[in-house]
């Protein structure tokens, strides 16, 4: 937890990743940002006279050693119209870590202090530049490893979830005001809501909360990624398909059965989705204890996968192990992948289609890459069930927990109202629901909640 003095101090940090680059950026924010940076700015003019959101060329001067450190561009932003809501300066120098650390050392010597993780975003929240859900979206954008997750985080930053939460909170507060009025005028026999009207309003709110909660599992997958497992008997080309989808030689490919004995996992991007692709041991009954363990692990991987790619060898008739795997995968969501389609076809496609009339069947060749685009499209379509539907807004566990608590409070309010309890009891539950929604966007919060959130941020953001 920060003290008042720490919150009022001027902070600085390197905002670009460590390593050599063309440009490195140092951020400075706080009441003394302009005067501190002015002390090391060797150029024309005074910061207090500059217009906001302007760039100024100058040299970085070290007053301690009376020497020039580097050339830089100084970007000046006056509060409250800055990221943090405070006076801010961004120093863009050459991206050598030695230079950046020298500049940072000068800033600290002139009165700034090193920023804590996420402190710039924390100040943006405390100054009202963004709410808590939007602040969390900043880190989500930085850590996004897929386009879908980035687009979800961008929507959060623009306030898509916050708008829904604030709207529901306003509706609850409006209900509370009507209840309070009914309580105040109860002796006069005046009621502003009938029980039926109250139940209808609470039920509508409950539906909105449950709609948001219903999208959590899909939202979590978009944020954290999906798991797709490749299975099949030995030598059907699972590892070749794995390498083809990765576009690199990650798995060892041989003609010997049992080459893959452990599960190989790699992240890939499929049409904007982050997918953890798993290559498994070939399924067959064996007395080899190591290979048997590989088969057992394959079974476990299938159980936690979002989708299974069931690979068959198109150059051979269906084998006993193929049929046994079909039985094991009967209820598993899957795509049938007929591999080795560049060779003479021996497999009976009609037999497969007869058994799996509603399962996608894709023919591919790991040699010619034929069919790989069609396979990627099938995977994407099966992972995202309703692409036309609005993407889920809830993907963080903190948000889910707050909405679940809100749902429970609204259900209690509904029960109290229907059982004819006094308006005071209904009001208690509604206030609780409003408070949980307030916690989600940061209208009601504690230092502990803020510390837990912003300590996950990188320094400089």
**pLDDT tens, position by position, 57-85:** 999 999 999 999 999 999 999 999 999 99
Taking CA atoms, 128 is separated from 122, 344, 442, 444, in Å, by 10, 67, 10, 13
Residue 177 has what pLDDT? 85
Beta strands across the sheet bearing 67-77: 41-42, 54-62, 67-77, 88-95, 21-29, 11-14, 113-114
Q: Percentage of residues in the chain with pLDDT exceeding 90?
A: 53
Q: Confirm whether pTM is higher than 0.85.
A: no
Q: Which of 2-16, 243-257, 262-276, 438-452 has the lowest mean pLDDT?
A: 243-257
Q: Percentage of residues in the chain with pLDDT exceeding 70?
A: 87
Tokens of 158: 């623009």
Which residues is 424 bridged to in the sheet? none
Residue 251 has what pLDDT? 44
| Model pLDDT for residues 288-344, shown as the tens digit of each residue | 555 555 566 666 678 788 999 999 999 999 888 888 888 888 888 999 999 998 888
| Residue 335: closest CA among 369, 363, 366, 301 | 363
Average pLDDT, the chain: 86
Taking CA atoms, 37 is separated from 69, 96, 110, 382, in Å, by 14, 20, 8, 54
Taking CA atoms, 141 is separated from 54, 135, 157, 379, in Å, by 26, 10, 9, 25
Per-residue pLDDT band at 386 (split at 50, 70, 90): low
Residue 256 has what pLDDT? 42
| Residue 107: closest CA among 91, 95, 118, 120 | 91
Residue 272 has pLDDT above 90, yes or no: no
- Burial-class residue 361 by CB neighbours within 10 Å (0-12, 13-18, 19+): middle
Q: Which comes out higher in pLDDT, residue 421 or 307?
A: 307
Delineate the domains of the chain, giving CATH numbers in brackets. Answer: 4-131 (3.30.1360.120), 138-215+394-442 (1.20.120.430), 228-383 (3.40.50.300)
| Model pLDDT for residues 79-136, shown as the tens digit of each residue | 999 999 999 999 999 999 999 999 999 999 999 999 999 999 999 999 999 999 999 9
Report, as an integer, the average pLDDT of 8-19: 91
CA distance 401 to 404: 5
Residue 253 has what pLDDT? 45
Residue 445 has pLDDT above 60, yes or no: yes
In 10 A of CB 2, how many CB atoms? 16
Residue 160 has what pLDDT? 93
| Model pLDDT for residues 177-228, shown as the tens digit of each residue | 888 776 665 555 555 567 788 889 999 999 999 999 999 998 999 899 999 9
CA distance 290 to 281: 10
Residue 192 has what pLDDT? 57
Q: Which of 107-121, 279-293, 398-412 has the lowest mean pLDDT?
A: 279-293
Per-residue pLDDT band at 254 (split at 50, 70, 90): very low
């Amino acid at each position: 937890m920060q003290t008042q003095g720490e919150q009022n101090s001027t902070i600085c940090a390197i905002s670009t990743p460590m390593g050599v680059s063309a440009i490195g950026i140092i951020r400075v924010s706080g009441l003394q940002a302009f005067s501190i940076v002015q002390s090391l700015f060797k150029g024309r003019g005074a910061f207090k006279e500059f217009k906001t959101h302007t760039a100024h060329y100058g040299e970085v001067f070290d007053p301690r050693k009376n020497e020039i450190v580097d050339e830089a561009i100084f970007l000046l932003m006056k509060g409250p119209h800055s990221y943090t809501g405070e006076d801010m300066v961004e120093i863009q120098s050459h991206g050598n870590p030695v230079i950046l650390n020298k500049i940072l050392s000068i800033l600290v010597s002139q009165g700034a202090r090193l920023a804590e993780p996420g402190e710039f975003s924390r100040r943006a929240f405390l100054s009202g530049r963004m709410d808590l859900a939007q602040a969390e979206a900043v880190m989500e954008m930085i850590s996004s490893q897929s386009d879908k997750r980035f687009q979800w985080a961008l929507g959060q930053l623009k306030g898509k979830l916050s708008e829904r939460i604030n709207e529901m909170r306003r509706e609850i507060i409006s209900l509370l005001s009507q209840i309070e009025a009914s309580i105040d005028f109860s002796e006069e026999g005046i009621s502003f809501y009938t029980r039926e009207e109250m139940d209808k309003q609470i039920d509508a709110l409950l539906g909105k909360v449950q709609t948001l909660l219903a999208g959590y599992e899909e939202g979590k997958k978009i944020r954290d990624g999906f798991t797709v497992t490749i299975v099949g008997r030995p030598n059907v080309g699972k590892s070749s398909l794995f390498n083809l989808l990765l576009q690199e030689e990650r798995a060892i490919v041989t003609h010997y059965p049992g080459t893959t004995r452990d599960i190989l996992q790699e992240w890939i991007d499929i049409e904007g989705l982050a997918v953890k692709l798993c290559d498994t041991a070939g399924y067959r009954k064996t007395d080899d204890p190591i290979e048997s363990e590989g088969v057992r692990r394959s079974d476990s991987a299938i159980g936690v996968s979002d989708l299974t790619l069931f690979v068959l060898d198109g150059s051979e008739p269906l084998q006993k192990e193929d049929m046994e795997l079909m039985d094991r995968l009967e209820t598993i969501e899957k795509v049938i992948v007929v591999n080795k389609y560049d060779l003479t076809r021996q497999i009976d496609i009609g037999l497969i289609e007869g058994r799996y009339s509603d399962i996608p069947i894709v023919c591919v060749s790991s040699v010619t890459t034929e069919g790989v685009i069609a396979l990627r499209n099938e995977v994407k379509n099966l992972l995202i069930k309703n692409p036309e539907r609005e993407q889920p807004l809830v993907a963080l566990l903190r948000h889910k927990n707050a909405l679940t608590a809100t749902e429970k409070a609204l259900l209690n309010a509904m029960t109290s109202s229907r059982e004819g309890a006094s308006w005071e009891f209904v009001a208690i539950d509604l206030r609780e629901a409003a408070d949980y929604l307030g916690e989600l966007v940061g209208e009601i919060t504690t230092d502990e909640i803020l510390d837990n959130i912003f300590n996950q941020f990188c320094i400089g953001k």
